[in-house]
Structure 1
């Protein structure tokens, strides 16, 4: 610690703390370092004119049908959406130049295209949820019969009759070039759609066979898209992944010479490569495979970055008054480039600083706030805009700019990061009201969607409305047998809400359901079933609980060659239970992993504090008399951290190792000090959340209790054997208190100290008295510490007034983002 730092006593318990706690649920938007691109206004293609190219006709047909299948899938009609995709694309085998449709006047063509979209359930009114056509097969058939013959065959989602199929085959068999065109026109969007469905099923089930099928599906999508790429350019078709890694980037000029289909082929090729790489990491469980897939990810990023450079160049041309219609940019390409490039920025930003710098050196971007703002621009969302009036809301729902097949995923990402990721890793610039606004719009479009309803329930949960969250989770029914696993995410969240509310009966029932039905993590679900049954206190089930705990470690699995941190935690705790026959407050202990203390309302926090404090008093009664006498000695600042030169012992009061070991023993309680420190840490953690509950009055008594509890953990940390994570988390929350108090230098020093404790075996961190310095939640702590350092930067910028200028908001750019108020 800095020599000049004041002690807690010098500051006093209330110095520097605000009277009312700041909100961690609605924070101001970030000041961006560079302008936000607005690609929505670049859309320049006429969907009502049938193109001359067979490939483009095929792609247009596939996009319409895929949009229909996606809407069904998002609205909890998975079987119908999959059925559409399973039928496969209907090849467009001949040009329509000489057809009756081609000679029709423009108004007739526009009307026919409109009827085609209506037949597929894509009218604006239906998207509003006013007259949803989901499952209305009769209406679709009637609309199809009313269409011109040529266009009906172009847009039909049903395969042609066998007689028609033979006729088409015979007419196309006379020319090898026609065969080649037919082969090339195989629907690449169909293959991508089927691969995404299979990939999602692989993630839902976590079954190796499903993962392998997903990888094969993405490989097929890659091959199909590769046939339509412009392979003569350097860094594209003929150059392999390693080559593109060396080349680095692709210029905008390469894409300007491509037609519309070739641009989409590049985008699909990159997307399928990224998703296949992610499944490959899950499937092979090999660190070397991770390295290989990183090269593939770099190759895919080269394409995505090239497409972004192309769109930036087109945007520049538009700003200078040039005509950009010939580039034929559509909303599907816009949403795809926006989604992929934003995700690269956002995901990389969560990695440790050393890795981020290495990735930036080889060309990867890392700007989380900018990536989030780019996604907002795709949907024309602005967190600073006033609430929409009914007319504006209706215009947004009916806007054609929302029809991109990746549009809903662009909305999902910021919601997921705001209501899920921020629960595990504290993030700056959280605005849960903004996330709710985006999600409510999508719930209105898809009122039965398990995805958006889950996000709605999660929003209620993170804003401490647990009963409403549970009601929302229970309202969702995933009826499709093939997607039954998807419903387990609702069951898991119901279980966590029950654990927060000390409803051990419900928690036990939900954990048993997950253990019986879910394939996600047998290790975790066995442990949860064991501890919820143990907390319920039914002695007749003791044998079953013992059997479950013995099987916990056997259910562990690896991802990318590494154990999952929460499974490691469960395995270590189950070993303790098998050895000693009991665990201390296991539900609260497990909830630390899911950061649920942030979600508890004040009444539940108070109730949980009473339960934990009861255990604290029980353990205090077991503390040896000589250790109580030592507690009267003050704990100096140097005794709060483990120094490398201390030889594994804290200084000061613990200078005599033999005397300490002799005086500290508790009969028949080998891990007494693990439980003792855990109880005090949990007491301090709950007191911290009561003291700093967002938008409530600061509670100085609870803040003092939190600091005293953490000090007790520091005092007895050298005597722990296994649960050393409580020591590291106590330092983290102690530093968070200092941030609230304005003691930023001291908080930063404490965070840097924690960073120095990473990878204890390699860096030679002195062990605690028990000889086990390993922290099973090390990664979890480090992620929180990196976020804490960002909090300090933000606090300093606030104190100094900041020196950066905010980038234009989503609605204030010089060229509007195809706003819903002026839809094309």
Structure 2
């Protein structure tokens, strides 16, 4: 809507979610246009004047909510700017927008605590948004490397993880507020995904259960909530139930194919944790074909799982190894990785840099790598979940390590004998 800030925000947010998952340029442009229109509506309704001269009680209810919508839309536009162009200029523009967004959220925080609110319902909705903004910024910044976080704190940002989680939690407890569901999703994403993959700690499965149970009761076939249920089961060591939840999430809807890809990603890792390298490779193959995410990473992971299946112990169908034992296929995949490598604002993603280096090492070592499947599981912090799969899977991983160790020892012996023979001949 060209006049309603919340309708504009809602439409822009839907477009933003679609663009961020598809990474398709038409979707990104559509989302940018929607956020631009939403920002124009919010800007028109915001209170004018210098920040220092704007007293909290001078704001009307509409102006307060316009400030909040402006901050949310500005954050969406900043992320879309990063996605639209991968050059340094876009990186700087996005950073400036994030800084402006942060200042807008700080203004909302000031309005929440300093302004005299006469309408309790409007304050409730505003408070949920202000707390989510304050909490999400602190939470996300706390996940950055300590050196970068200290630099950002020096220029005015804050990254207190415990404080951030507390603010988002308080927002979810504001029953009836329009943004409470968003707060629940943020907490579910953090506890089920970020805390585990980034090794950030604080993965609270009890909190996940408390957040997820009412959502599943209200939306038993909700694709997103089924995904979170799968993550919950996986972190609890119930891989069979996790697979069922991910598959149900895929079957529950056909419009948002990107949610299917997220579930395929999880199914890939679930099979890798079970040492079923062939199935893990098949899911990696689906992702490499259908996803626009980091192609270099996905192709390398497909090659790593296939190589691990051909050269190490696992729990997959041993009879199929002969059918997939084409070493040239692995070599072809490894050869593609450097060509798929990308730079964003002149910088490379660490995981893509890792994939490229391993692919190059594969070529330098004559088509050999040591336990690449186990290595990518380790890189994505999957070993704690391997232990949840039971002693058989752990023994399978140990058998693969023993096999690789024996191969390395034989290689050293052969190399030593060759050097001795060469020295004797000379």
In the alignment, the residues of structure 1 paired with residue 199 and residue 410 of structure 2 have an alpha-carbon distance, to the nearest angstrom, of: 36
Higher relative contact order (CA 8 A, sep 6+): 1
Do the aligned partners of residues 227 and 539 (structure 1) sit closer, same or farther apart at CA in structure 2, a change above 3 Å counting?
Answer: closer
Contact 2:72–2:101 (Cα < 8 Å) also in 1: yes
Displacement of 1:489 after TM fit?
0.9
Count of aligned pairs between the two proteins = 403
Instruction: Give the structure with the higher percent helix.
Output: 2
Report whether the alignment pairs 1:191 with 2:8. yes
Measure the CA separation in 1 of the matches of 2:417 and 2:191: 46
Structure 2 distance, partners of 1:441, 1:363, is 38
Q: Given that residues 255 and 263 in structure 1 are in contact (C-alpha distance below 8 angstroms), is that contact kept between their aligned partners in structure 2? A: no
Q: How far is the alpha carbon of 1:480 from its aligned partner?
A: 5.4
Equivalent position to 1:534, from 296, 307, 315:
307
Determine the structure 2 residue equivalent to 1:441. 214
Map 1:575-724; keep pairs closer than 5 Å: 575-579=360-364, 580-600=366-386, 601=388, 602-603=390-391, 604-624=393-413
1:331 to 1:491, Cα distance in 2 relative to 1, 3 A? same
Contact 1:195 1:221 in 2 (8 A): yes
| Residue in 2 that maps onto 1:803 | none
| Alpha-carbon spacing, 1:211–1:556, altered in 2? closer, same or farther (3 Å) | farther
Specify the SS of the correspondent of 1:195.
helix
| 1:561 counterpart (342, 346, 354) | 346
Deviation per residue, 1:364-390 (Å, 9 max, x gap): 22211011111112223xxxxxxxxxx
Distance 1:192-1:326 versus aligned 2 partners, 3 A rule: closer
- Secondary structure of 1:592's aligned partner: helix
Q: What does residue 510 of structure 1 align with?
A: 283
What residue in structure 2 maps to residue 301 of structure 1?
102
Note the C-alpha offset of 1:481: 5.0
| Residue correspondence of structure 1 range 270-419 to structure 2 within 5 A | 270-314=71-115, 324-325=117-118, 329-380=122-173, 401-419=174-192
In structure 2, do the counterparts of structure 1 residues 328 and 469 end up closer, same or farther at CA, with 3 Å as the change threshold? closer
Among 442, 462, 465, the residue aligned to 2:238 = 465
Q: Paired residue for 2:328? A: 543
Closer, same or farther in 2 for the Cα pair 1:563/1:357, shift >3 Å? closer
Q: 2:197 aligns with which of 401, 424, 429?
A: 424
Residues 1:493 and 2:274 are matched in the alignment:
no
Partner of 2:313: none
Does 424-433 or 483-492 show the bigger shift?
424-433
Where does structure 2 lack aligned partners over 5 or more consecutive residues?
Answer: 311-322, 420-426
C-alpha separation in 2, matches of 1:615 and 1:290: 43
- Which runs of 4 or more aligned residues in structure 1 lie more than 4 Å from their structure 2 counterparts after TM superposition? 478-482, 664-668
TM-score by length of 2: 0.86
Measured on the aligned residues, the alpha-carbon RMSD in Å equals 2.5
Deviation (angstroms), 1:333: 1.4
Point out the structure with max Rg over C-alpha: 1
Give the 5 Å matches for 1:75-94.
89=1
Give the Å deviation of 1:425.
2.5
In structure 1, distance between residues paired with 2:166 and 2:8: 30
Q: Which residue of 1 aligns with 2:60?
A: 259
Which residue in 2 is equivalent to 1:230? 47
Deviation track 1:625-651 (CA, whole Å, cap 9, x = no partner) reads: 9xxxxxxxxxxxxxxxxxxxxxxxxxx
**Alignment check: 8 A CA contact 1:346 1:372 kept:** yes
